Amino acid sequence: MRGGHDLGVDVADPPLLEHLLLERPWPLVIALLAVAAAVQVAARRRSSRRAGWAAWLIAAGAAGVALLAYTVTTDRERLTQLTVELVQAATQPVNLAVVDQTLHPDAVLRGPGGQVWMPFQNIRWELEQAVQRLGVTDHAIRQLGVEASGDRGRSALALRTHLGETGMPVSTSWNLVWQRQSEGDWRIVEIQWLTLQDQPPTRGMWQW
C-alpha cells in the first residue's frame, strides 16, 4: 500500500499479521527459505536426518505462506483493485459500465468541506461531459492509501491527469467511501473532491 497520510486524509494501517501474511508475504517467505537453507546445510554437515526434515518443514511453511497470499484477496486488496479500475475508466471515452458497477445508485459527490454537490445521476452525466470536454487522456496515481473495516472502506488517492492534445498535467486528490453490499460486492457511496492543484476546488468549476 502506498500511504495516504500526505493527502490530508488519515488512512488506518492494516492489521500487521494480515498485511505480512496475505498482502506482503515475500519478506517472510524469503526469510523462511533462508532459514531452511541454513538448517539444510547444518543437517548435511552433521548428517542429521532430523535437522534435514526440519529444513523441509520450514521450506514447506514458506510455500504455504506464498500459496495463502496467492489464493486469498483481502478487502484492502480488493478495494485497491476497484479504485484503480475506476480511475482507468474515467478517461476518454468514459467506461460507463465500470462507473455504473462501481458507484452505488445513492452515491453523492461532496466538496472539500463535506457539502453535497450532486447525486449519482448527475455524477455519471457530468463525468462523461467533463472528460470529453477537457480531453482527459490518462490518469497517473501518485499516491494511494486504502483501509477497510467490516463493511466500510475508504480510498484516499492523489492523481496527475493529462488534458487535451497538450497533455497539460493537473493534480487532484480524492476520498472515496466504500460500502459492502448484501451480495458481497463493494460499491462507492461517497466521493469527496479534496484538492485541485493543491487548492480546494469550487462547485461547478469542471463546467468551465
Supply 150's cell numbers: 467490516
| Separation between Cα atoms, residue 174 and residue 112, nearest integer Å | 9
pLDDT at 103: 95
Q: Angle at CA 145, nearest 5°, toward 114 and 91?
A: 75
Across the chain, mean pLDDT equals 88
Element at 125 (helix H, strand E): helix 120-134
Neighbours of 61 (CB within 10 A): 16
| pTM to 2 decimal places | 0.80
In which residue ranges of the chain is pLDDT below 70?
1-10, 165-166, 207-208
Smallest CA-to-CA distance from 62 within 12, 98, 25, 8 is with 25
Contact 92, 132 (CB under 8 A): yes
DSSP state of 14: P
**What residues contact 182, with CB distance under 8 A and at least 6 apart?**
none
| Separation between Cα atoms, residue 205 and residue 208, nearest integer Å | 6
Alpha helices by DSSP H, listed for 11-119, are: 16-18, 26-46, 49-71, 75-89, 96-102
pLDDT at 121: 87
